[in-house]
Amino acid sequence: MAIACITGASSGIGKEFATRLSKKGFDLILVARNKEALNQLAASLTCKCEIIPCDLSDMDACKKLGETLSHKKISMLINNAGFGDVGAFAETDIKKELSMIDVNIKALHILTKAVLPRMITHNHGYILNVASSAGLMAGGPFMATYYATKAYVTSMTSAIYEELREIHSNVHISMLCPGPVDTNFNDVANVRFALSGISAEYCVDYCLRQMSKGKLTIIPSKVMQLAMFGSKLMPRKLQLPITARQQRKKL
């Protein structure tokens, strides 16, 4: 039986991935801080679920989780856990930012590193790193740390993608780079999105279809696809004030 591990599985996109993959016949390893929410989710699914409560901002706990996962035959890893914050860099809370770096970067790095070698050995598997359209842009004034963490995710994922291609591996790695999605991300980041969001259901369905095709960069919104294409043609200094105007609307 194929096994998928999902971090941040208790709500939003992670919860939707769990629902979709359960219907596709996967057994699941569900990871999040909220044990009660994970148990409720597992009870609603028809597949076998292993619950692993874990605070991914705790590096000792994260490394322990990575060690556990490295010994399991995981067919799919979805690094979905992450959060953001909004405000001028000089004024935002350093404790929250460092926790964001731990979850958005370090945890994703540790868990990817934990499962990838075994996938390569078996020549099979999928890794999805949930990034953001923010990770494809020049930078994010008023969400500086969040944009920077997601740039790390897109850079690392792209590098691993090429390394796998060069050894002709059947292991695939992708990055999901949506714009706004209707989840509780807004509440955690304390933001109001300037653009209307897509549904988690649409985002996940689109993503799984593109993953199966081995696509590297997955952008489920047509609006964001056009925006990302336009950003490639625009100098960095011109991008930044445009992005700043959009982020100010979230304050």
- 135-181: pLDDT as tens digits: 888 789 999 999 999 999 999 999 999 999 999 999 999 999 997 88
Mean pLDDT of 44-65: 97
Q: Residue 126: which CATH number?
A: 3.40.50.720
pLDDT tens digits, 72-116: 999 999 999 999 999 999 999 999 999 999 999 999 999 999 999
Name the token pair of 2.
């194929």
- Position 227 scores a pLDDT of 66
Selected catalytic residue, list 15, 126, 147, 150: 150
Of the residues 126, 146, 152, 161, which is catalytic? 146
Which of residues 46 and 187 earns the better pLDDT score? Answer: 46
Q: How many structural domains does the chain have?
A: 1
Q: Where are the alpha helices (DSSP H) in 24-87?
A: 35-44, 59-70
CA-wise closest residue to 74 among 106, 109, 111, 34: 111
With b meaning 16 or more CB within 10 Å and e meaning fewer, what string describes 174-199? bbbbbbbbbbebbebbebebeeebbe
146 has catalytic annotation: yes
| Full domain range(s) for residue 49 | 3-248
Q: State the Cα–Cα distance between residues 101 and 151, nearest whole angstrom.
A: 12
| Distance of alpha carbon 7 from alpha carbon 14, whole angstroms | 7
147 catalytic per annotation:
no
The per-residue pLDDT for 181 is: 80
